[in-house]
């Protein structure tokens, strides 16, 4: 978040804040949004976010890391 910044791109970008997000999608479209600042993109950090914000049994669509999320739903 915050736009372009000099330095390395991607998860290793120094000085950037990682934010995990979840958006509820229902019959009427997008619903509530949950965001959480996380310390890193580790399995532990993502698990904490998912178990805090996503209801057990919900369907999760992810950009690239389903193996880190699926076991906790």
Dihedral sign, Cα of residue 72, residue 61, residue 33, residue 28: negative
Rounded distance between C-alpha atoms, residue 68 and residue 52, angstroms: 15
In this prediction, residue 7 carries a pLDDT of 62
Kindly report the pTM of this predicted structure: 0.64
pLDDT tens digit string along 15-58? 778 888 888 888 888 889 999 999 887 888 888 898 899 888 88
Greater pLDDT, 6 or 31: 31
- 40 Cβ contact list (under 8 Å, min separation 6): 18
pLDDT band (50, 70, 90) for residue 60: confident
- 63 Cβ contact list (under 8 Å, min separation 6): none
In this prediction, residue 34 carries a pLDDT of 93
Q: Are 62 and 41 in contact (CB under 8 A)?
A: no
């Amino acid at each position: 978040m915050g736009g372009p910044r000099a330095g390395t791109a991607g998860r290793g970008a120094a000085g950037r804040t990682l934010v995990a997000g979840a958006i509820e999608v229902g019959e009427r479209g997008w619903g509530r949004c949950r965001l959480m600042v996380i310390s890193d993109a580790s399995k532990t950090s993502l698990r904490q976010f998912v178990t805090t914000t996503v209801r057990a049994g919900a369907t999760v669509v992810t950009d690239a890391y389903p193996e880190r999320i699926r076991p906790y739903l």
